[in-house]
Amino acid sequence: MNVNDENDILPPLELEDNTLGKQELEGNTLEGQELEGNTLGKQELEGNTLGKKELEEDNTLGEQELEDNTLEGQELEGNTLEGLELEGNTLGEQELEDNTLGEQELEDNTLGGQELEGNTLEGLELEGNTLGEQELEDNTLEGLELEGNTLGEQELEDNTLGNRNWKVTHWGNRNWKITHWGNRNWKITHWGTGTGR
């Protein structure tokens, strides 16, 4: 993910009255656009970033506090999002107990090919289940029609994050990737036990 924008000071869970999750992204987008001067990725949150810089104390990601820690390589109270553990912490409403976001397990489930309470991100039907607080009812991440549904509280109408275009591609039982092209470029790719493409 490559994002660069100006920074603003924010209280816990507020991006200038906009938040990820339950609050609104007032006409802003998740990838390259500004969240009232704040962005995801390498945009600074109180002089810090979600990438490799720090989120100062009293700032949270979802329900979990990132106290002087970062999302990429840095520690989340002694843990990292990549390879290390988020013991007793949550990402959104789900607890990552002794598990990780990378290849590790989320309570014996993974973001890749494993099941999230009987549902999979690669099976791609989260019917009656939520991603954050939002329901993906009969829609799939790879079918790419989340029209009228929201990711957080923001609507993905006509398959866009804001005004940008995005697509989710899924292969096999274990492989999935999310690719976005706009003024900003980012890509999320995961390969499980299957063959990556």
Give residue-wise pLDDT tens across range 20-79: 333 333 333 333 323 333 333 322 333 323 332 233 333 333 333 333 333 333 333 333
Chain segment 184-194, per-residue pLDDT in tens: 333 333 333 33
Q: Are 76 and 2 in the same domain?
A: yes
What pLDDT is stored for residue 138 in this prediction?
Answer: 30
Q: Are 81 and 125 in the same domain?
A: no
Burial call 100-111: b when 16+ CB within 10 Å, e when fewer: bbeebebeebbb
| Structural contact between residues 180 and 161, judged by C-beta atoms closer than 8 angstroms | yes
Domain membership of residue 102 (yes or no) is no
Total number of domains constituting the chain: 2
pLDDT class for 18, splitting at 50, 70, 90? very low
What pLDDT is stored for residue 180 in this prediction?
Answer: 36
Chain segment 153-165, per-residue pLDDT in tens: 333 333 333 323 3
Could you list the beta-strand ranges (E) of 99-194.
Answer: 115-116, 119-120, 130-131, 134-135, 150-151, 154-155, 160-161, 164-171, 175-181, 185-191
Q: Are 81 and 146 in the same domain?
A: no
What pLDDT is stored for residue 114 in this prediction?
Answer: 28
Q: Are 126 and 180 in the same domain?
A: yes
Which residues are within 8 A (CB) of 129 and not within 5 positions of it... i.e. 6 or more apart? 116, 117, 119, 135, 136
Q: What is the pTM of this model?
A: 0.13
pLDDT over 70 for what percent of the chain?
0
Domain membership of residue 173 (yes or no) is yes
Q: Are 70 and 145 in the same domain?
A: no
pLDDT class for 167, splitting at 50, 70, 90? very low
For range 81-92, the mean pLDDT: 32
Task: Give the residue numbers spanning the domain of 10.
Answer: 1-85
What pLDDT is stored for residue 33 in this prediction?
Answer: 29
Domain membership of residue 113 (yes or no) is no
Domain membership of residue 110 (yes or no) is no
User: Given 67, 85, 103, which residue is the final one in a domain?
Assistant: 85
